[in-house]
A and B are shown apart, each in its own frame.
Chain A
Amino acid sequence: QSVLAQPPSASGTPGQRVTISCSGSSSNIGSNYVYWYQHLPGTAPKLLIYNNNQRPSGVPDRFSGSKSGTSASLAISGLRSEDEADYYCAAWDDSLSGRVFGGGTKLTVL
């Protein structure tokens, strides 16, 4: 069971907007930055969002992140077939003195 809770799956049709939630606690999301990663099986994970809501260069502005209290969310607008992947939230946990990941959300583009 992961320290950060994510829904195991999400889906949408091309062009739709999808949101993936990530729930934590005061020792992780509540007191540290949240990061989002996109992972296609067999490939290197990719940093999608850093410091709660910042996009690295090269990441389309269709991807956005937000954080409120001990929860965070990733929104993907204008859904495309190539967005089909696993998405993970992550944060540092002060109580564990370690980095924690969510269990991952498998996004399916119908």
Chain B
Amino acid sequence: EVQLVESGGGLVQRGGSLRLSCVVSGFPFRTYWMNWVRQAPGKGLEWVANIKQDGSETYYVDSEKGRFTISRDNAKNSLYLQMNSLRAEDTAVYYCARGYGPKLGLDSWGQGTLVTVSS
């Protein structure tokens, strides 16, 4: 069974940092592109970033370039999102999701982890 489990969310002060993790099982992690997608309270889904199978290629939503860093450890079947200089508008549920390519659909998602940035 394909499973993606996010962790690392919580309450953080504005300007602080947080590192999210996503541990996967049930599929060959190293063969998939991986993504982070978020949903702010009362808002729609927003794609944040993705990363190639070997970590050699990454893409980010314009608003987060320079503040967020996506990475992966294929030996640990893990995906990460390092978030720095957090703002109130970063408050959201963050989902990890797998994809077949950078431009292709996301066919499996985790349940999400909530990040709350307090002012």
Q: Are A101 and B45 also in contact (CB < 8 A) when A44-B95, A44-B112 are?
A: yes
Q: Chain B residues near A96: list those with CB within 8 A.
A: 61-62
Is residue A88 within 8 Å, beta carbon to beta carbon, of the partner chain?
yes
Q: Chain A residues near B62: list those with CB within 8 A.
A: 96, 98
Tell me which of B45, B61, B107 contacts A98 (CB under 8 A). B61
A100 to chain B, nearest CB (A): 7
For chain A, what secondary structure do more than half of its interface residues adopt (helix, strand, loop), or is it mixed?
Answer: strand
B13-21, B67-75, B83-91, B97-105: which lies at the A interface?
B97-105
For chain B, what secondary structure do more than half of its interface residues adopt (helix, strand, loop), or is it mixed?
Answer: strand
Is residue A43 within 8 Å, beta carbon to beta carbon, of the partner chain?
yes
Give the size of the chain A interface in residues (CB under 8 angstroms): 27
Residue-wise, chain A 38-54 has the 8 Å CB interface mask toward B (1 for contact) of: 01000111110011000
Tell me which of A43, A47, A98 contacts B106 (CB under 8 A). A47
Q: Are A44 and B109 also in contact (CB < 8 A) when A33-B103, A88-B44 are?
A: yes
For the complex, what is the distance from the CA of A86 to the CA of B44, rounded to whole Å? 9
Is residue A99 within 8 Å, beta carbon to beta carbon, of the partner chain?
yes
Is residue B59 within 8 Å, beta carbon to beta carbon, of the partner chain?
yes
Q: Chain A residues near B60: list those with CB within 8 A.
A: 98
Instruction: Evaluate contact between A101 and B44: CB separation under 8 angstroms.
Output: yes
Q: Which residues of A, 79-110, contact B by the 8 Å Cβ criterion?
A: 86, 88, 90, 92, 96-104
Is residue B116 within 8 Å, beta carbon to beta carbon, of the partner chain?
no
Instruction: Evaluate contact between A98 and B105: CB separation under 8 angstroms.
Output: no
Is residue A60 within 8 Å, beta carbon to beta carbon, of the partner chain?
no
Give me the interface of B with A, judged by CB distance under 8 Å.
35, 37, 44-47, 50, 59-62, 95, 97, 102-112
